[in-house]
């Protein structure tokens, strides 16, 4: 297996998040630089959830796998198509009766896993045990030792993410990239000379926002402790956060954060 370069795009927020992804991947032909592209899309449809239309839109830009998190169920039509998609995954450690899958094997070469953290998050099965269970399942399907195993760990607490990544590396995981906070961290590294790690990849959306949402509603909610309807901030400029990881066989050999700011990514034909 020759070196493989994977792009991971942080949480995409709303229409202008999607348009920023399009601008980066298509308008600048960046998708040609990568062998495989993963993006977290749980906030891609008006900031909460993912519609079938927006699912198809993102895949049309060259994205190979869409990961998610605790907002994956926010658009109810997800239940009508999640099992039809061959690219979308939801966190594995949701209850086994829920629709969808928590990992996928692509081209018998790359395994993408989605897991939720427990700390400061909704009640969920233990992600450490869930990862053990996934490896047990994989051994009945393939030889995971010769695959790139890439985990989107959707979690809040840095300590949980760091500890999980170290444990995941001991099992043979090739990369653990955190999502959920929408704030890109500056701690990328290679654990045990094999597993790429970044606490949080960041997000894609309006730079002048509160993790993608309008300032006024966020301010009111934080000052009054009264729930306020969040709306996606749409004003420019727009930022795209993520990281690129290069692998030699199934071992990560480099990880680099990416962050691009664009003044305009308007597309009049796109709707939420």
Judge contact between 195 and 165, C-beta under 8 A: yes
Cα(191)–Cα(168) distance, integer angstroms:
10
Which one-letter DSSP state was computed for residue 235?
Answer: P
Residue by residue, DSSP assigns 190-225 as EETTTEEEES---EEEESSSBTTB-HHHHHHHHHH-
Residue among 155, 143, 113, 146 nearest 130 (CA): 113
Residue among 65, 62, 64, 73 nearest 26 (CA): 62
Beta-bridge mates of residue 175: 150, 196
68: exposed, middle or buried (C-beta count within 10 Å: 0-12, 13-18, 19+)? buried
155: exposed, middle or buried (C-beta count within 10 Å: 0-12, 13-18, 19+)? buried
Cα(214)–Cα(186) distance, integer angstroms:
25
CB atoms within 10 A of CB 115: 28
71 is catalytic: yes
**Out of 23, 46, 55, 71, which one is annotated catalytic?**
71
For the annotated catalytic residues, the residue numbers are 71
């Amino acid at each position: 297996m020759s070196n493989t370069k994977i792009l991971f795009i942080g949480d995409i927020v709303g229409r202008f998040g999607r348009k920023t992804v399009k601008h980066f991947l298509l308008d600048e032909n960046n998708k040609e630089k990568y062998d495989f592209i993963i993006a977290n899309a749980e906030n891609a449809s008006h900031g909460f959830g993912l519609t079938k239309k927006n699912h198809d839109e993102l895949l049309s830009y060259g994205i190979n796998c869409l990961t998610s998190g605790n907002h994956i169920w926010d658009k109810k039509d997800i239940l009508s198509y999640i099992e039809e998609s061959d690219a979308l995954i939801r966190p594995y450690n949701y209850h086994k009766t829920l629709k969808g899958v928590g990992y996928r094997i692509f081209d018998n070469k790359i395994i993408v896993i989605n897991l939720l953290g427990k700390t400061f998050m909704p009640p969920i099965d233990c992600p450490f045990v869930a990862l053990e269970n996934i490896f047990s399942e994989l051994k009945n399907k393939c030889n995971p030792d010769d695959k790139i195993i890439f985990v989107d760990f959707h979690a809040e607490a840095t300590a949980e993410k760091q500890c999980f990544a170290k444990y995941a590396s001991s099992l043979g995981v090739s990369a653990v990239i955190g999502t959920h906070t929408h704030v890109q961290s500056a701690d990328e590294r290679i654990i045990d000379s094999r597993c790429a790690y970044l606490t949080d990849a960041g997000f894609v959306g309006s730079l002048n926002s509160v993790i993608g949402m309008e300032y006024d509603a966020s301010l009111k909610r934080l000052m009054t402790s009264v729930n306020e309807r969040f709306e996606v901030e749409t004003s420019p400029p727009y930022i795209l956060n993520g990281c690129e990881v290069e692998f030699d066989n199934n071992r990560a050999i480099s990880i680099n954060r990416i962050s691009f700011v664009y003044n305009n990514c308007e597309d009049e034909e796109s709707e939420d």
